[in-house]
């Protein structure tokens, strides 16, 4: 057996590895957002709040709108970090937080709670210094929230924006900077929600009706653009 025959399979493996390495270099930059989120420092609202994260929210990722996932230069996975942040925030904001077993609906078996919050990420935009010539990485998100009864009857629906940015820094990679900007945007979302939840008119009316002991009519209300932005409850 000639040496070339002996080494040929190994060489093929080497070539294959080299081609795969080159192809990997051509793919989009992947970032899985990771960070730790503090518990909010506030008096918990006396509510047994349920939460349901839709699948698109749990697995949320973003890439250039103009391109497909494969063509985008950036793919940023925020789903796990979103769930981690909202779990921490809501557990600190409400007296009790309960995770629903399914999307609230009349036929869906779920634990009984005062209301169920369903968050959605409607839009997300990002910019990096190569796009803007400004030495900051930015992420902007628009959330939509639906507050419903356990049976799925709408109580309130509103939108809220969040923004995070981080400056360029020596020896910090683009991936680390985008991750940090995303963490800042998530913290901002938490701050906006925590300080503004009580200001959403439909939520305030619902809480008032609970305090008055009236049975709340399950009518759909919309507070589009009720971006709270408030500072204090």
Partner 1 sequence: MIARNLLRIGAWARLPAALGLCFGIILTTGCVTSTVDEMVFNEPVEGIGDATVVILGRRHASDYETEPDFIDCVGKHIASRDNSITVISELDFVNSLYPWFEPRTAPLHPADIERLLQQRPVAQRLEELKTEYMIWIDGATVQSDSTGTMTCGIGPGGGGCFGFGTWSNDSDYEAVIWDFTDRAEVGRVNTTATGQSYMPAVVIPIPIIAPVQGTACDGIGEQLLQFLSAEY
The answer to whether 22 contacts partner 1 (rule: CB under 8 A) is no
List Cβ neighbours of 121 (8 Å cut-off, separation of 6 or more). Answer: 56, 57, 60, 78, 82, 141, 142, 143
User: From residue 42 to residue 81, what is the string marking binding to partner 1 with x (rule CB under 8 A)?
Assistant: xx--------------------------------------
Provide the CA 61 distance to its chain's centre, in angstroms. 9
The answer to whether 176 contacts partner 1 (rule: CB under 8 A) is no
Segment near partner 1 (CB under 8 A); pick from 101-109, 141-149, 185-193, 217-225 = 185-193
Q: Nearer to partner 1 by C-beta: 20 or 134?
A: 134
Structure-token match 């959330």, residue found:
143
The answer to whether 107 contacts partner 1 (rule: CB under 8 A) is no
Measured in degrees and rounded to the nearest 5, phi and psi for residue 30 equal: -100, 135
The answer to whether 130 contacts partner 1 (rule: CB under 8 A) is no
Burial of 211 (0-12, 13-18, 19+ CB in 10 A): exposed
Q: Nearer to partner 1 by C-beta: 135 or 214?
A: 135
Residues of this chain, 203-232, that bind partner 1 according to CB under 8 A: 229, 231-232
Q: Are 140 and 94 in contact (CB under 8 A)?
A: no
Q: Nearer to partner 1 by C-beta: 139 or 148?
A: 139
Measured in degrees and rounded to the nearest 5, phi and psi for residue 217 equal: -65, 135
**Site for partner 1, rule CB under 8 A:** 38-43, 134-136, 165-167, 169, 187-188, 190-192, 194-195, 229, 231-233
């Amino acid at each position: 057996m000639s040496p070339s025959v002996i080494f040929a399979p190994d060489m093929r493996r080497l070539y294959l590895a080299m081609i795969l390495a080159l192809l990997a270099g051509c793919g989009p930059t992947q970032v899985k957002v990771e960070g730790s989120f503090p518990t909010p420092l506030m008096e918990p609202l006396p509510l047994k709040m349920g939460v349901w994260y839709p699948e698109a929210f749990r697995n949320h990722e973003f890439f250039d709108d103009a391109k497909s996932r494969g063509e985008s230069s950036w793919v940023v996975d925020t789903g796990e970090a979103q769930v981690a942040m909202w779990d921490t925030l809501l557990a600190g904001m409400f007296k009790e937080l309960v995770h629903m077993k399914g999307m609230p609906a009349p036929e869906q078996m779920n634990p009984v709670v005062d209301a169920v919050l369903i968050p959605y990420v409607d839009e997300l935009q990002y910019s990096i210094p190569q796009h803007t010539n400004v030495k900051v990485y930015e992420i902007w998100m628009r959330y939509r929230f639906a507050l419903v009864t356990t049976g799925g009857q709408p109580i309130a629906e509103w939108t809220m924006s969040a923004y995070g940015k981080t400056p360029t820094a020596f020896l910090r990679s683009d991936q680390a900077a985008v991750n940090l900007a995303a963490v800042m945007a998530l913290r901002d979302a938490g701050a906006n929600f925590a300080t503004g939840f009580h200001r959403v008119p439909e939520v305030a009316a619902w809480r008032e009706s609970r305090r008055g002991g009236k049975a709340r009519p399950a009518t759909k209300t919309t507070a589009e653009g009720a971006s709270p932005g408030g500072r204090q409850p």
